[in-house]
Structure 1
């Protein structure tokens, strides 16, 4: 047996081998040691001394819970089952690996999150691109995309894969890259042979799997390196699953050109699917808006949130469906009642197709399908294009309902080999076996009565023992009346025991009826499951349709319950929201009501908002609020506002918060600059940029200089709609230089040494930060507060001019058609500045230029200039 174990283990070195022995899965050697630590199970051993073999085991009937722990701990598990009945084995029972379970290939409900997809991803790098392919094995969703290299980590953040496949060459020769992925995303990375990623191999694997001669029907004929990644995905699934992959019926090309691109930093800072601090779903935008009734709907809503639409016509197509259900509350309630009784048929259909579904899964499918006629009838009252199309695509699959209903009992057991699955009347042979098994005693009693009547021997009785089976016992005084058909079997002191052909035939039936019934039930169930699996494509389409109805009704219900309005979606650059409210905080505030605020950017005269105000006043909340409302609008949702006109955005960028990545050798400021560089290099005029405290991670002068220059660059080169919240109130001077820059501040009310946050944004800048006030509110000791006031007064005296303006941030002269104010007197400092402007160093030597600049510098310093 151990020789057999070692031969199998050699083939699966990277997995923990669950080796079936009777009622247990056993692990040996290093596998046993590791499993005992992760699972908290007892580590024992076979034999003693030098030949001791470490050993640990788990019951096979509860193995799933142990496997779940191992998968979550980042391990693979190879399931080695007994391939023959131990009673039929002449020697060692045949065993073999029937499945390898990895984080990216699980299909069991207990191992999956029902509200999110579980993706297995493959990656192939070329000189200019990354080819990506990802699949959710539990649903059959299979996609490919070629991306620019700078988008890789944004796609990791969007898809959150559980496992990543990459060529062995990349895995072994780019260790820093591999470790970076592991560290940032906690993904299991599996190296696969390079040949599996070749385009020719992948093309053959994919066409063979789909049974096609080309990939044109999937619009994937001209896919680049992503095609190699897709081939590697299918090959990996074949190697690990060792079962049918028939539920993977198509491959789709992910089209980023009609989606709003949201990078990793923006997904995190806007807390779309989880919070930044706890990484929990609770407190995120998705948690607040998710009122879906089905797991399919929850997964679709998550996809919409992390990948909004950017084409106005597509947004309006969804929006009209939401509006119709918003306007029809009775219809909406009825739809949601029906949806609440539908199970996760998308994942059930996968289990059926892969041969892993039990009878309860089929009953859940039948019960779900039984709700579809009512759902179809309700949707039939709708007139919006999206809901009309949905009703037309909704197949009720009555033949599947009929098959399952006729074949299976309504409440079957969880196992499929112990009987109790098949309904009476479905199969006559099974009914007979069950009758014999259940009614053996009554048959024997009837047989005994018939024999007494036939022989006239009143003391005749039918008995049973394990040695001889069923027998007829007759006392010696009645030996003369024994029929010739009786066959003597055993002699007792005062009686003889006989058998008859009829009794032995029945004995064979009775003694084997139960096992034969169980075997027949199992065979019948397998055949039924196979018949249902033929409908996998239709069930998948039904699942997509149900998910869409669920999400549309959820967004309509959300709007109704929270007084949301339908925003006007346009192709302009306008962003006009009146009385907008933060979708998350509005729902979570307990002790105070949320103060609504407006925004009005037209992308021309008003492009950039500089927002100043103290800590805790609400600057960050306001700018995040605007981004979230735009995002919600572009998934087709209503938004919390009084009125809204939203010109679509192509990307949403945020630079919010402070965090360092010390494991990567990056400080807070370096992370901040990396994220800002990404914005400046990738934003367009149609993007929405959200900046919060850029430049805060370095010295004050450095920070203001960088923040100022960044804002100028966005204004002059990118032209994007931008909200910049800052403590650098010196940046308000930008509004004097650029007509598209406007100042806003968060109102506060001063009352002696107290400040009251009014949470209202108004036009105009501010020149006070109130940081010391906030420190006092936080409980900083009084002595520290008093000392801080003295230091602040000294710093302001040294850095502000007589007009209260910073000496270190004079206005930059730009080409501006607005007339400058004439000055009656010209200062010495201004005279020097004019000399600097007129200086043409191209006409003099470098040494002369250096000397001249040093002279001008000294004169400026003498005049208290910069």
Structure 2
């Protein structure tokens, strides 16, 4: 009768473990494979493109099954977590040979999730796991990167602020308690994030510490190993950094371009000449979190200025830093116990560069660089330990031996002597047997399945001695064993197994020794990363002709001949046109007009990026730079909608504008581009005027406001803190030519039809457009030359038809006047009468 596979001890064991981890793919270790069964196998085979088969096809119940080799598991874990799934690794925790139960003992040894997966592929990006805890009235937030050890926590006054922080971090996964999950899911609006719920019970004393403990609890429960790689938790106030909301980070293209969603075309791309992955990660972090502490900014500027004077030192440092492997990542692998011998050698080589870096800095004539050298700990004793113990060419697998240096351990040397002696005996035996049998091609070999053997080809079978015992038959040869060879096989294999086992134990002891020193390694890693970024800033400053920005207390912007740091480096830009950004203290709002494609958005982004560069300690692209310290940057640049939430371009625009109006202060920077264009002309203009009025009267932030509504330029007559600028353009023989230069005053027109002409629209379309434009300009009641105010355009009461009767009657009288038959005196009398009627209408 066929066996019921589902009732086998192993499948019962599988189902029991799967019940504990229902939300994860269960990878069940069977020999050299991780297997998936049932629904996991069906879905996993589709997601990972694996062959779906079944367990025990002869049984009456076939169980779907698919699997992956254990040595290739990382590839599949990476793919699953990238898609937002979790995986539980169930390993054999006892030797199958010594198992006494119905099946080998298995346990889940790690749960891999999107926020906890440590990749060896993309080390320049952090992989943050965040925890959000909704308290009353505050919201707790904590986040960690297991690959670097970063661990921080804080609190916010509202959930939206915490969500913006998580989005800004590009967190892959959010942990929360069950009762909070629905609010968080709603706030995230279907963004691609994994939300993990737990039954953690907060103490409700400090919501930020509760969030931290929730995060640590989740990490401990999923990783099931030491968390010694995590740095001491650091509390931070969001107000410590220049605040840039998620939308503004996207609009300014800080770390990714809007069009491609990649590094190329971003500020990060323009600045990142770092030599180490640690430095690249830190630079990204600095760009996303500019400083508010002017003394710390100036300290960074001091290092950049000192390095700028030392060309040879900069060059030497760059080459030395290139040889420093990722100390943060290696520290995490040591803490998690999954570092291999080659990576241990990488750690050694990285530490061996530190004395050279210290010497280079110490040779400088700049005291700040000498002091930096003194602050670096070489940790040469760790490098020397690895040098003495780990072989330079050690294999990746650490359980099969040949990783520990000769002379490091006496017992290991004895095993190796025995192994060497045994191998020598094998070589001597082969030579002796060739001579004794006359079989010149006889060989003594070994494989893991059959052990040692004597191989004789079929043509020499007649020469095989009587004491050879047949062991294996091949297509063209036979393999034999002798009692003497069997005896030495046992001795050799015993020595080899003991040697490999001892090497593994020694390797773990060395790893644990270094594990105790991880805080020192991590501190050194942070110092090297910082040095790398500062050296990069000095390289950028020299190569791109950047200047040191002065931080003032006057709320005054003085950028002379400033450039866009990204656009000027792009392949498409032949000759970038610099521009001044001059906003004295009393100039809070600048209205910018000019044609499309002339560079208005570039000019606005340019200011935003220069502010960020200044507040991370970098020099900036300008001939002269003086800036106040900004606390927040808000942008409304570019047209985009949010299909996931069903929000139109105009709704997105209004929400971003709302954040700027509600949250900005007088120390903020606001960049608004074409507010109101997503709706009807009068609606859009009304909203734009109201926003400018609110900014002028209530916020007082430095604001650049780009618009095609020329009527807005007349607001400068009413608002003392507002002025007008326009981007120059000229018409030559009917063709529009951009000069990309910012000039005082408003633009004379939008040149929209001319831009359409440049885009290559059919000639008839352009011709008709010019015709309609002239007609509109004749009949329009709103133009830059009309008297203009918010009141008379947008705040009139509804007009009743009866109120218009006097005007209609007056118009009829004017039309009835026969000018050809009036004398000059009669004409003057008619005009006097009409004036009286007009005055009477005004009085009414």
Q: Give the TM-score band, short-chain normalised.
A: 0.7 to 0.9
Look up the match of 2:785.
805
- The correspondence for 1:198, drawn from 192, 196, 203, is 203
Secondary structure at the residue paired with 1:291?
Answer: coil
| Residue 696 of structure 2 corresponds to residue 715 of structure 1 | yes
Distance 1:591 1:127, change over 3 A: closer
Q: What are the within-5 Å matches in structure 2 for residues 458-857 of structure 1?
A: 508-590=490-572, 592-604=574-586, 606-800=587-781, 805-806=785-786, 809-810=788-789
Secondary structure at the residue paired with 2:190?
Answer: helix
Deviation at 1:512, TM superposition (A): 0.9
Q: Aligned pair count? A: 764
- The correspondence for 2:154, drawn from 140, 145, 152, is 145
Distance 1:5 1:712, change over 3 A: same
Distance 1:94 1:764, change over 3 A: same
Secondary structure at the residue paired with 1:51?
Answer: coil
State the distance in 1 between where 2:798 and 2:86 align: 71
Look up the match of 1:96.
107
- The correspondence for 2:300, drawn from 307, 313, 318, is 318
| Residue 272 of structure 2 corresponds to residue 290 of structure 1 | yes
State the distance in 2 between where 1:109 and 1:686 align: 42
Secondary structure at the residue paired with 1:552?
Answer: helix
State the distance in 2 between where 1:737 and 1:594 align: 35
Look up the match of 1:170.
180
Look up the match of 1:183.
190
| Residue 87 of structure 2 corresponds to residue 77 of structure 1 | yes
Q: What are the within-5 Å matches in structure 2 for residues 115-130 of structure 1?
A: 115-130=124-139
| Residue 64 of structure 2 corresponds to residue 54 of structure 1 | yes
Deviation at 1:89, TM superposition (A): 2.2
Is the contact made by 1:607 and 1:740 (CA closer than 8 Å) also made in structure 2?
Answer: yes
Deviation at 1:677, TM superposition (A): 1.1
- 1:63-122 deviation per Cα after TM superposition (whole angstroms, max 9, x unaligned): 111111111111111111111222222341111111111111122413xx3112111100
State the distance in 1 between where 2:215 and 2:760 align: 56
State the distance in 1 between where 2:450 and 2:561 align: 89
- 1:681-728 deviation per Cα after TM superposition (whole angstroms, max 9, x unaligned): 111111111110011111111111111121121112111111111111
Deviation at 1:314, TM superposition (A): 1.6
Deviation at 1:381, TM superposition (A): 3.9
Distance 1:859 1:7, change over 3 A: farther
- 1:772-808 deviation per Cα after TM superposition (whole angstroms, max 9, x unaligned): 111122222233222222322222222247x86247x
- The correspondence for 2:251, drawn from 269, 280, 296, is 269
- The correspondence for 1:67, drawn from 61, 66, 77, is 77
State the distance in 2 between where 1:341 and 1:318 align: 24
Deviation at 1:445, TM superposition (A): 8.6
Deviation at 1:856, TM superposition (A): 6.9
State the distance in 2 between where 1:763 and 1:569 align: 25
Structure 2's unaligned 5+ residue stretches are 1-9, 432-443, 454-466, 470-480, 811-837
Distance 1:236 1:859, change over 3 A: farther
State the distance in 1 between where 2:805 and 2:301 align: 65
Distance 1:444 1:129, change over 3 A: closer
State the distance in 2 between where 1:464 and 1:649 align: 75
State the distance in 1 between where 2:406 and 2:713 align: 82
- 1:407-442 deviation per Cα after TM superposition (whole angstroms, max 9, x unaligned): 010111111111110011111221221222233153
- 1:194-215 deviation per Cα after TM superposition (whole angstroms, max 9, x unaligned): 41x3347xxxxxxxxxxxxxxx
- The correspondence for 1:248, drawn from 230, 241, 244, is 230
Is the contact made by 1:406 and 1:426 (CA closer than 8 Å) also made in structure 2?
Answer: yes
- 1:735-787 deviation per Cα after TM superposition (whole angstroms, max 9, x unaligned): 11222211111111101321100111110112311111111222222332222
Distance 1:383 1:229, change over 3 A: farther
Is the contact made by 2:588 and 2:700 (CA closer than 8 Å) also made in structure 1?
Answer: yes
State the distance in 2 between where 1:468 and 1:636 align: 65
- The correspondence for 2:53, drawn from 27, 30, 44, is 44
Is the contact made by 1:317 and 1:386 (CA closer than 8 Å) also made in structure 2?
Answer: no
Look up the match of 2:28.
19
State the distance in 1 between where 2:632 and 2:580 align: 21
Distance 1:445 1:748, change over 3 A: closer
Is the contact made by 2:675 and 2:688 (CA closer than 8 Å) also made in structure 1?
Answer: yes
Distance 1:398 1:797, change over 3 A: same
Distance 1:332 1:856, change over 3 A: farther
Is the contact made by 1:567 and 1:633 (CA closer than 8 Å) also made in structure 2?
Answer: yes
Secondary structure at the residue paired with 1:724?
Answer: strand
State the distance in 1 between where 2:33 and 2:679 align: 61
State the distance in 2 between where 1:272 and 1:601 align: 24
| Residue 414 of structure 2 corresponds to residue 432 of structure 1 | yes
Structure 1's unaligned 5+ residue stretches are 201-223, 450-462, 471-488, 492-496, 814-828, 838-849
Is the contact made by 1:324 and 1:382 (CA closer than 8 Å) also made in structure 2?
Answer: no
State the distance in 1 between where 2:805 and 2:328 align: 77
Distance 1:309 1:249, change over 3 A: closer
State the distance in 2 between where 1:851 and 1:147 align: 46
Look up the match of 2:117.
106
State the distance in 2 between where 1:343 and 1:159 align: 24
User: What is the TM-score with the length of structure 1 in the denominator?
Assistant: 0.83
Secondary structure at the residue paired with 2:529?
Answer: helix
Look up the match of 1:841.
none
State the distance in 1 between where 2:171 and 2:72 align: 27
State the distance in 1 between where 2:805 and 2:98 align: 102
Look up the match of 1:481.
none
Distance 1:469 1:661, change over 3 A: closer
Distance 1:54 1:114, change over 3 A: same
Deviation at 1:592, TM superposition (A): 2.8
Distance 1:5 1:852, change over 3 A: closer
Is the contact made by 1:603 and 1:719 (CA closer than 8 Å) also made in structure 2?
Answer: no
Look up the match of 1:847.
none
Distance 1:620 1:590, change over 3 A: same
State the distance in 2 between where 1:278 and 1:699 align: 31
C-alpha RMSD over aligned residues: 3.2
User: What is the TM-score with the length of structure 2 in the denominator?
Assistant: 0.85
Look up the match of 2:323.
341
Look up the match of 1:454.
none
State the distance in 2 between where 1:504 and 1:232 align: 59
Distance 1:675 1:811, change over 3 A: closer
Is the contact made by 2:399 and 2:500 (CA closer than 8 Å) also made in structure 1?
Answer: yes
State the distance in 2 between where 1:752 and 1:445 align: 94
Secondary structure at the residue paired with 1:663?
Answer: coil
Deviation at 1:448, TM superposition (A): 13
Deviation at 1:315, TM superposition (A): 0.9
Is the contact made by 2:714 and 2:784 (CA closer than 8 Å) also made in structure 1?
Answer: no
State the distance in 2 between where 1:387 and 1:666 align: 52
